[in-house]
Structure 1
Amino acid sequence: MTKNQAERAAILTAGIVIIALTVAAFWLSYAHLADVARQHGLAKSPERAWAWPGTIDLFILAGEVLMFRAALRGAWDGWAFALTAAGSLGSIALNVAGVGTDTLSLDHVVAAVPPTAALLAFGALMRQVHGLVTGTADAPEPVDESVAVVAIERPQPGDPAPEIAPAPAPAEVPSTAVPSPSAAPAVPPALVTHARKLADAHRDKTGEPIGTDVLRVRLGVPASMADAIAAQLA
């Protein structure tokens, strides 16, 4: 098993455990609040007694989902945080108060555990989902490692020697002159295609065009090759 496969298996296992914990904690908290409702005014209406806890516990669900949406946008939603806090504190307080004042302190702890666990488990679940979504969005695309093969014709025995034109006299070139584009190294089309994907992803993430230095580092090519690729992307 590779490292990535082990990480995926760990995330999947943690997600299953967190979902089971969230469901169990919410059910225990909800059922206890339904018992409290039956003992304080809703004994004659089982339907209303079971619906009443939703007016508290569902605030946690709504607030966590809104906070998750805000996190995906890279923003902060104070209203979502207020909904989550109100629902969580209200659920914990009513679960504990429903035990009564003439009981042992351990009974109050037992009543407080499910709503607290529901809050923490649901928060952990949203964090896992957020990590998976943002991790997938920011993951670099796979590198196309196909290399263009250039066929080189080798001279065969008996072929006439190629004519070589005399080299022209070198011209004086200022030290600040820019090399001619014709001197740029040949770039395989597959490498240009991959570089264009990197440039698009960089522009979507930063809002700026990708630089030559970034191309050189990300592609692992010499500076001259990175300049030639940048010229084709421009």
Structure 2
Amino acid sequence: MTRSIRLDAVLVQAVIAGALSFAHLHDIAAAAGQDGWKAWAYPISVDLLLVAAWRRLRILRTDGGPTRAAWTWFTVALAASLGANIATAGLLDLNAVPAWLRILVAGWPALAFLGGTLLVHTPTQARTQTAPNATHAAEPAPDIAVTRDEPAPVPAPETDPVPALPPPVPVPAALLAHARKVAHAHHTTTGSPIDPSTLRARLGVAPQLAEAIALQLTGKD
């Protein structure tokens, strides 16, 4: 409830202040020779430039862009609005407006148009990102000087990489002892050492395990 009352009070205050400023700008424009609809357009132009400059200033602050141009046009619009409000406080005879004020009022549309155009085309982000390989691409390749007395180095022939050996297959001690008995019986019967295929068939194991057992039997028997 309290928040709604504060919000309404702020809106009412803003409407009153805007209406008074609007009326003062209208009176100055009319006194400077801008009659009819033109006198009503001047307050709108000043207030819109003020709001546009403030909005662009907030965007540039958020994006990290340059804020000098936005601050400049915000100051210009604020000076025009504040000057009109002060001039209607009895400090200026509206029936005898000086020539310099007539010139300022007559030149305001062009100034406001220029400010609005520059605010619209102000970049919102000044930081540029360079490609990670841009620096390396710009660097020239080093020159390799080859003298006549010394022959150019001959690159060594490329060799195929040696394939890594598979890890040894672990053989349980009980299975190795049983395989040793089978191999001894085969050697006693046939007079020749047992081969991996026969050992695999007798033991009923995988080929890799049979090869590992045969290697251990060959190394120990």
TM over 0.5: no
Q: Which has the larger radius of gyration?
A: 2
* Normalised TM-score (structure 2): 0.35
